[in-house]
Amino acid sequence: MNVLSNQTLRICVACCILMGFAVADVTQADAEETSTGEPAIVTDFLSKYCLDCHDKTTAEGEREFESFSLPIRSEQQLISTDEIIDQVTLKSMPPEDSEQPSDEERLELLQTLRDGVQDAKELFAGRSGRTVMRRLSNREYEVTLATLFGRRVDTLGLTADFPKENTSHHLDTIGESLITSGFLLDQYFQAASRLVEMRLGKPDVEPKSWHFTENFKQYEELSGAHSSVLKNKFLCLYEQPNTDTRQGGYGHIEDFLEGVPVSGLYDIEVHAQAMHRDTHYDPKIFRIDFSEPFQIAVVPGDVTKGHIHYPQAIEPVLATAIVPDDEPEWLKFQVWLEAGQTPRFIFPNGPYESRASVIEVNRRYKDEFKNPKVGVSRTSLLREGFLPHIRIGEIKIAGPLKEPGGSLEERAVFGESGFQEEQALQQLYDFAQRAYRRPLETADQQRIQALFERRVAEEAGSRQAALDAVKMILCSPSFLYLSEITPEDQTRLSAFDLASRLSYALWAAPPDDQLFESAKSGKLDDVAELRNQADRMLANERSKEFVEGFLDSWLNLRDIGNLPPPRKKVPEYYSENLPESMKQEARIFFRHLLDENGPVMDLLDADYTFVDKKLAKLYGLPEKDSLRLADGFRRVSLAGNSQRGGVLGMSGVLTVSANGVDTSPVTRGVWVLENILGTIPPPPPDEVPAIDSNVSGAKTIRERLEKHREDQACAVCHRNIDPLGYALETFDPVGRWRSKYPKVKGSAAKVDASGKFPSGEEFKGFDDFKDKLLESRREQFSRALIEKMLAYSTGRHMEPTDQFEIDEISKTVEDSGGGLRTMVIAVLTSDLFRSR
């Protein structure tokens, strides 16, 4: 929980003096005490202002302060002290409709409680929580394998069948939630075997070339038209792949369904043209921007993994290109394909739902055809019409390509010289050390040697024996778990454990050579060296793993898409792949602050953001008319724009805090409370009625909530939650600005985004709400962000006894100017991060 810093307290006292308040001497150490040693201000304040609702009998909100006393001797007392400090500092308690303490009483209580917390610091020294030994998350597992093998592994889909990852408060790095099952262990075995055999155990084959000029068969309702009009001489793409109808979203090579013979790099050339981008048909029919050139992309397909004409579980984009309009040209790609995979072609910015487009064109332009047909008829359109599409006439494939010096995987696993039989064991030891992230013990080497020699004795061959040993290494607990070698009687992490913690916090991967050598030499034990390494790693592009992983956890961005809006209601969400743009805005904004050491408070409000053409249009920004897709993301000014600014104005946050269909101040209020202010609201009591009970006379969500709050059991929590959500009601479920709710029975209620904090502070709308957060809750936000970073990087949630160091980190950041990079470095060099 958050506490009032000494500096803030001094400012409060000074302000009160300037305003004419008769301030008590709150800095005196010998506060008046009762006969039992309890400071009188504590017992008097609680009795007068708190116990009506928080005595042993009532205990509203599951808070009971009747038994509270000083001095602090237990963690529960420390928790209660923090809660009282929080509520009194923010004037959230006592409730607005109750008798209020004077400013003198508040200040005296806060100083007394703060002194009590400080007095207890030594008592709790060394009693901080401990990280539970945890396995790699699925995300970290794939990044680690890609690092160890020197190449992307997402084409294999190694974790596609793994159990869904458990998270704790949206964090995917918490040890207690990363459980291991027998099924998962079996998946690890299969993944290791598949990776090693397909990347290192593949047969050595000579490059081959294929040239396809016909039999471009397409399925289902495309089949007849292509056969009769085009004679299957062309492979055509009619729509983007992310649609319901899935007609013409994937172009495959019918004569190459068996795929490539071995995993490797392949050159692909396609002779393609963008057809009818200048069509005279109404562009609204196709729901795309015809001012943008058509794009083509390559994704893998596998006939053994599902329908080749439909989306499959494993289809990362391998390459993209712009398709020419005027005449066909050869477009060249170099892509990695796994054995058995065949290239498929997609139209990322193509029409949305080709079937609907065809039906509408046939209906509206039937007079232009000799033999018009209604419905899903493509024959006339292909023969006489101007249907926008990409047309491919020839495809060439060549490979696998020879890689100078051997494959990336060969060199990554066995060294630059590749596998050497006479050095096999040493090569395996070196790989195991990188995989285990620590020096090998004798027992490690003995296990590797025993397996290698047994497989050689079984006449597997020395290379196959080595590959089997690599599989064993990848299934070892020393690889799968971030296990610690720090002695049990030590609280401070050893250098190698610290190196792993730092590397996985920033790169989600094992330490590189430089970090490993720093640990090996003992230099990493020095805070200055740890700071240098953290700074170096943050500057490396691999730290994108921290940016993406942390934002997925803090802002819950990984859940975007779990509750998507209806396709007919928000088609652009799908047709423009808005979820990806939504995530990118937050990532680029955070990255900018990290690189520039920009103010942490810019995360709450800023006069700029980063958008691409899609988001500029969603936000209604002037740049929507000047930005092109090829421009990617650009920094744009929000000066004078009261509708955006900070993470709360980002569509990603507004989408993930809604349910896709409508918005709820309760849902968004809880999101703000947890993610921005770091306060987890208690669960509603069992006797609390459903939110829709007895609200038949309500017309708006605000009215329904007010009726809901008439129940006193509901009012306790909702007065802290609902105002935070009201401020975001001017945004619809995907983050578009609105002034009215959707029409219900012909009328649309006006959005009211005003509200009042429990402390009595009122705000008129979204912009004013952010101002109030910056005025009175900036310290709470900063501490909440520090706690989240600590939890993400250490693998455990912070506990009450951790607050003393969180205070120190917070003060360091504030004294250093409040920059985001300063905060991250302070977290990564803190005692909490360096401890078990």
Q: Identify the burial level of 291 via C-beta atoms within 10 angstroms of its C-beta, where 0-12 means exposed, 13-18 middle and 19 or more buried.
A: exposed
Stretch (H or E) spanning 609: strand 608-611
Residue 61: predicted pLDDT = 59
pLDDT reading at 362 higher than 50:
yes
**Residue 232 belongs to a domain with what CATH number?**
2.60.120.260
Residue 9: predicted pLDDT = 36
Task: Give percent above pLDDT 70 in the chain.
Answer: 87
pLDDT reading at 19 higher than 90:
no
Residue 108: predicted pLDDT = 77
- Residue 428 contacts residue 421 (beta carbons within 8 Å): no
Please identify which residue in the block is written with the tokens 């401020």. 727
Is residue 620 left, alpha or beta, with left meaning phi > 0 and alpha meaning psi from -120 to 50? left
Claim to verify: residue 117 and residue 140 sit in the same structural domain:
no
Please identify which residue in the block is written with the tokens 């009450």. 800
pLDDT reading at 126 higher than 60:
no
Claim to verify: residue 710 and residue 574 sit in the same structural domain:
yes
Upstream peptide bond of 71 is cis (omega within 30 degrees of 0):
yes
Claim to verify: residue 386 and residue 348 sit in the same structural domain:
yes
Residue-wise pLDDT for 83-123, tens only, equals: 777 677 766 677 766 778 877 777 777 777 777 777 676 66
Residue-wise pLDDT for 202-220, tens only, equals: 999 999 999 999 999 998 8
Q: Which has the higher per-residue pLDDT, 82 or 562?
A: 562
- Residue 110 contacts residue 4 (beta carbons within 8 Å): yes
Residue-wise pLDDT for 465-491, tens only, equals: 999 999 999 999 999 999 888 888 888
Residue 34: predicted pLDDT = 42
Claim to verify: residue 264 and residue 363 sit in the same structural domain:
yes
Q: How many H helices and E strands in the chain?
A: 32, 12
Q: Is residue 499 part of a domain?
A: no
Quick check: helix, strand or coil at residue 77?
A: helix
CA–CA dist 281, 286 (Å, integer): 9
CA–CA dist 305, 137 (Å, integer): 25
What separation in angstroms does the CA of 641 have from each of 157, 590, 611, 644, 775?
A: 43, 20, 15, 6, 19
Last residue of a domain, one of 64, 89, 124: 124
Nearest to 500 by CA among 153, 834, 798: 834
Residue 695: predicted pLDDT = 35
Residue 714: predicted pLDDT = 53
Last residue of a domain, one of 378, 399, 420: 399
Q: Is residue 534 part of a domain?
A: no
Claim to verify: residue 600 and residue 674 sit in the same structural domain:
yes
pLDDT reading at 247 higher than 90:
no
- Residue 332 contacts residue 268 (beta carbons within 8 Å): yes
Claim to verify: residue 181 and residue 90 sit in the same structural domain:
no
Residue 75: predicted pLDDT = 65
Last residue of a domain, one of 725, 744, 773: 773
Claim to verify: residue 822 and residue 690 sit in the same structural domain:
no
Residue-wise pLDDT for 23-63, tens only, equals: 333 334 333 444 445 577 777 777 777 776 776 666 665 66
Residue 26: predicted pLDDT = 37
Claim to verify: residue 475 and residue 624 sit in the same structural domain:
no
* Out of 317-326, 579-588, 757-766, least confident range: 757-766
Mean pLDDT of the chain: 87
Split into its structural domains, the chain has a count of: 5
Task: Give percent above pLDDT 90 in the chain.
Answer: 63
Nearest to 502 by CA among 515, 489, 514: 515
Domain of 17 in residue numbering reads as: 6-124
pLDDT band at 689 (very low <50, low <70, confident <90, very high): low
Residue 59: predicted pLDDT = 62
CA–CA dist 50, 58 (Å, integer): 11
CA–CA dist 634, 684 (Å, integer): 43
Claim to verify: residue 418 and residue 392 sit in the same structural domain:
no
Report the predicted TM-score, pTM, of the whole model to 2 decimal places: 0.85
Count of beta carbons in the 10 Å neighbourhood of residue 103? 18
pLDDT reading at 2 higher than 50:
no
CA–CA dist 717, 819 (Å, integer): 33
Q: Is residue 15 part of a domain?
A: yes
Residue-wise pLDDT for 385-411, tens only, equals: 999 999 999 999 999 999 998 999 999
* Out of 168-172, 540-544, 745-749, 798-802, least confident range: 745-749
Nearest to 197 by CA among 511, 510, 460: 460
Claim to verify: residue 687 and residue 762 sit in the same structural domain:
yes
pLDDT band at 250 (very low <50, low <70, confident <90, very high): very high
Claim to verify: residue 141 and residue 188 sit in the same structural domain:
yes
Q: Which has the higher per-residue pLDDT, 22 or 109?
A: 109
pLDDT reading at 705 higher than 60:
no
CA–CA dist 80, 173 (Å, integer): 28
Q: Is residue 318 part of a domain?
A: yes
Q: Is residue 554 part of a domain?
A: no
Q: What is the mean pLDDT of residues 707-734?
A: 73
Residue 336: predicted pLDDT = 98
Q: Please write down the HEC assignment for all residues of 36-52.
A: CCCEHHHHHHHHHHCHH
Q: Is residue 404 part of a domain?
A: no
Q: Is residue 565 part of a domain?
A: yes
pLDDT reading at 1 higher than 80:
no
Q: Is residue 590 part of a domain?
A: yes
Claim to verify: residue 617 and residue 707 sit in the same structural domain:
yes
